[in-house]
Amino acid sequence: MSPSNPLLSVTGLQKAFGENQVLKGIDFTVHSGEVVALIGPSGSGKTTALRCLNGLEIADAGTVGFTGGPEVSFSAGLKPKTAQILRSRSAMVFQGHHLFPHLTVLQNVSIGPIEVQKRPKDQVLAEAKKLLARVGLEAKADAYPNSLSGGQQQRVGIVRALMQQPDLLLFDEPTSALDPELVGEVLTVIKELAQEGWSMVLVTHELAFARDVADTVVFMDGGVVVETGPASQVLSTPANTRTQAFVQRLL
């Protein structure tokens, strides 16, 4: 991690839905190999912030810049090309239920690289099989999503994100749709990826997991970043009273 050279810099990010000003100027950075957990009460804007990084939402103002790439400066009227630039740098793992039901596991994780990124099919399929084996799903390559458990589906979602060869992995509450007994297997995969050096931003309500895996915690409330710091510090001895109240309730 080099403090002087962030992989991702987010400044002044704003987003409104109609009258609802959801993000009121968000700043944070992610360094190469860093795991950043976005935490905060429901409705504080965490998912919206994550979706703006990936171009799934187009912010109203602010900048999102990846190292080596053009800095995207949001302003009214900026549209699809922005999303394209951002989407080429990061990949999102959703809460669940985002696999194509009519495609096999292998097809689900390889269709994007083959059809969109136009990478050679043989190479893509070989990589997909390797990554499926990596998350313990070698035997499920030809299965359809509805025959898999929620935890298995989520591991397929992670492989699909890895197949995009992103610089940054984005996780939006990756375990919130899972039965409690399936949470561990997904968190284990995420933790292993973190240990392998993947850079990631993780929206999570699993504060114990955030403490375990995140380098940095960003606490959001009411559309602003209230506190940012090393995970151990923000989760154990938060400086801000709002962070204290939130953390005390959940840890």
Give the separation between CA 62 and CA 236, rounded to whole angstroms: 31
Q: How far is the CB of 247 from ligand ADP (least distance, A)?
A: 16
Q: Which residue lies nearer to ligand ADP by CB, 40 or 150?
A: 40
Q: How far is the CB of 84 from ligand ADP (least distance, A)?
A: 20
Give the separation between CA 197 and CA 34, rounded to whole angstroms: 8
Q: How far is the CB of 43 from ligand ADP (least distance, A)?
A: 4
Q: Which residue lies nearer to ligand ADP by CB, 43 or 136?
A: 43
Q: How far is the CB of 190 from ligand ADP (least distance, A)?
A: 18
Please state whether 30 falls in left (phi above 0), alpha (psi between -120 and 50) or beta. Answer: beta
Q: Which residue lies nearer to ligand ADP by CB, 20 or 123?
A: 20
Q: Which residue lies nearer to ligand ADP by CB, 10 or 128?
A: 10
Q: Which residue lies nearer to ligand ADP by CB, 92 or 124?
A: 92
> Which of 26, 5, 4 lies closest to 14 in space, CA to CA?
26
Q: Which residue lies nearer to ligand ADP by CB, 40 or 145?
A: 40
Give the separation between CA 108 and CA 93, rounded to whole angstroms: 13
Q: How far is the CB of 39 from ligand ADP (least distance, A)?
A: 9
Q: Which residue lies nearer to ligand ADP by CB, 19 or 196?
A: 19
Q: How far is the CB of 48 from ligand ADP (least distance, A)?
A: 3
**Which pairs count as long-range contacts for 186-191, CB under 8 Å and 24+ apart, including other chains?**
186/151, 186/154, 186/155, 186/158, 187/213, 189/135, 189/155, 189/158, 190/158
Q: How far is the CB of 154 from ligand ADP (least distance, A)?
A: 18
- What's the sign of the alpha-carbon dihedral 127, 133, 134, 140? positive
Residues in contact with ligand ADP by CB under 6 A are 17, 20, 22, 40, 42-48
> Which of 193, 106, 182 lies closest to 151 in space, CA to CA?
182
**84 touches 66 (CB < 8 A):** no
Tokens read off for 191: 């933790």
